[in-house]
Amino acid sequence: MTRIFVYGTLKRGCKNHHWLAGQRFIAEARTQPIYRLYDMGGYPGMIRADNGVAVKGEIWEVDEGGMARLDVLEDIEGGEYERLLIELEGERVEGYLFLRDVSGRPDAGTNW
């Protein structure tokens, strides 16, 4: 099982939450203030940033099959996101950082 931080459309009540069906919600969480969210047109991209903010999200415990499906959704192979350790308040868990250019994209604040 892998603990993962989700911050956008995978959160409870959002359009891609069904991708977490059968997985276990752990808690609401917040990152260290070293990331920024950008509106990528219907979903957020989180990047590491010198002028970061504390991004709100959720921690989930996800099994191996669930992680493989999330990697497909987040287009790891295509280079849209990278799964790595995310610095949260109090712990580090895996999560997805956006890899593509965010130039000209609107800042999405701290919560999607």
Rounded CA-CA distance 93/85 in Å is: 5
Rounded CA-CA distance 48/42 in Å is: 20
Q: Is 87 a catalytic residue?
A: no
Burial status of residue 36 (CB atoms within 10 A of its CB: 0-12, 13-18, 19 or more) = buried
Judged by DSSP in three states, 82 sits in strand
- Which of 74, 77, 80, 82 does the annotation list as catalytic? 74
Residue 92's pLDDT is 97
What are the mean pLDDT values of the chain's consecutive 10-residue runs (112 residues total)? Answer: 97 97 97 98 96 98 97 96 96 97 97 95
For the chain, domains (ranges, CATH) are 2-98 (3.10.490.10)
* pTM, rounded to two decimals: 0.94
